[in-house]
Structure 1
């Protein structure tokens, strides 16, 4: 069996380029870290900052700064935990939900225009590749702990 290294390198570059283009479609001057945290809060509901930091795989002090910026812009609402007043919790605000929806719509539109330029056969091939890409993304969390970065 041939080495998968050349394919891995090509895929990495293509995914990074596409990811960069999609990040550029964000609205409201939001940073990728802020957008990711906002999306996590939208997906999981109200979260403690510690839980959100863990989900985002960043240090708690960094999450505190991100949450403060999101709160300043009215994209999340922060409150103290009912049980432990030392714990801060965040929930998405209507403005935050609007930013997420606008960003998702812009990104989907960006991709839709480019996909429309592909032939029918290329579109079918891309549709068949989506489940494979999802598997690669899902399995990466399991591999990260076992694979050293070099």
Structure 2
């Protein structure tokens, strides 16, 4: 899918949104490993890794799932040794969840496998295509980061 400048500005955001949506779907579909963590489990671990221990309620809100669903996910991740739970120091009734060293190692391995797969895929491009993709990616990534920063806590 290619995006061409539109004479009608309201269509430009729709065209870009369609490209970003296709990019997200293709990325998840092509880089996911069968039998790997669910997307919710992976993003929960990544969030804990980046932001430190969190309350279950925060994790549930962050992942847009119910608190009982997040409790089940955390229990499964805890059984797998990827997270641990502890009583919140500020509120003894609450639980804080943190990623374990095993969870961090799993995240690092997932990143390594994704980058390895991407490197293989990039190897199928001609040198000119790779240069063009490198140029476009260098411009695209900062814009995408800026766009998504506004939605980081939603």
Q: Deviations over 1:84-141 (max 9, x none)?
A: 33211111111111101001111122223333444212321222221222233334x2
Runs ≥4 in structure 1, deviation > 6 angstroms? none
User: Structure 2: where are the runs of 5+ without partners?
Assistant: 1-6
Q: Which has the higher contact order (CA 8 A, sep 6+)?
A: 1
Conservation of the 8 A alpha-carbon contact between 1:115 and 1:123: no
CA 1:14–1:29 in 2, change beyond 3 Å: closer, same or farther? closer
Q: Which moved more, 1:1-10 or 1:28-37?
A: 1-10
1:148 corresponds in structure 2 to none
State the TM-score, normalizing by the size of structure 2: 0.77
Unaligned regions of 5+ residues in structure 1, if any? 145-150
Deviation (angstroms), 1:7: 4.1
Structure 2 Cα separation of the partners of residues 96 and 128 of structure 1: 32
With normalisation by structure 1, the TM-score equals: 0.79
Partner of 2:138: 127
Kindly tell me the number of residue pairs found equivalent between the two proteins. 140
Q: Could you give the per-residue CA deviations for residues 49-88 of structure 1, whole angstroms, max 9, x where no partner exists?
A: 1122222232211211111110010001111223433211
CA shift in 2, pair 1:121/1:74, >3 Å = same
Aligned: 1:14 with 2:23: yes
C-alpha spacing 1:13/1:121, structure 2 compared with 1 (3 Å): closer
Work out whether residues 74 and 93 of structure 1, in 8 Å CA contact, stay in contact via their aligned partners in 2.
Answer: yes
Distance 1:125 1:82, change over 3 A: closer
